[in-house]
Amino acid sequence: MWWTVERANAVTGGIWLLGLGILFATDFWWPGILVLAGIATIVQGSARPGGWKAIHGGLGMLVIAGWAVLDFSIVALFVGMGVYAIGAALIRPAPIEKKPVYDHSLE
């Protein structure tokens, strides 16, 4: 597999350096830092087993950042929550059905 945790760590470091440079240059700290953290969280979650939880956290940060950019509009909140709910339903894997375990030690 080419996308490993080590590569995700390296990419995340680059994302933070580029993002901080952009934030310093534009002086757009709020909610820019939320966008940066959300993107980095999504990258980290994509490389780990069970990382869909981290991806959800990153999407949540992006929704809050979008809501802040739109001056905390109630319409933007509901639209963002709807997009998040659809994204969460598509990202989360199907639950794994546990098969019963039988003890064959007495046979």
CB atoms within 10 A of CB 55: 21
Residue 97 located in a structural domain: no
Distances from the Cα of 106 to the Cα of 23, 67, 91, 101, angstroms: 66, 61, 43, 14
Q: Flag whether the pTM goes above 0.85.
A: no
Residue 104 located in a structural domain: no
Which residues form the domain of 66? Answer: 5-91
> What's the start-to-end Cα distance of the chain, in Å?
41
Q: Token digits for 10?
A: 């390296």
Which pLDDT tens digit goes with each residue over 65-83? 999 999 999 999 999 889 8
Which pLDDT tens digit goes with each residue over 7-25? 999 999 999 999 999 999 9
Of residues 95 and 2, which shows the higher confidence score? 2
How far, rounded to the nearest angstrom, does the alpha carbon of residue 40 sit from its chain's CA centroid? 8
Residue 73 located in a structural domain: yes
Phi, psi of 28 (to 5 degrees): -110, 65
How many domains are there within the chain? Answer: 1
Question: What span, in angstroms and rounded, lies between the C-alpha atoms of 6 and 63?
Answer: 27
Q: Helices 74-91 and 52-69 meet at what angle, rounded to 10?
A: 160
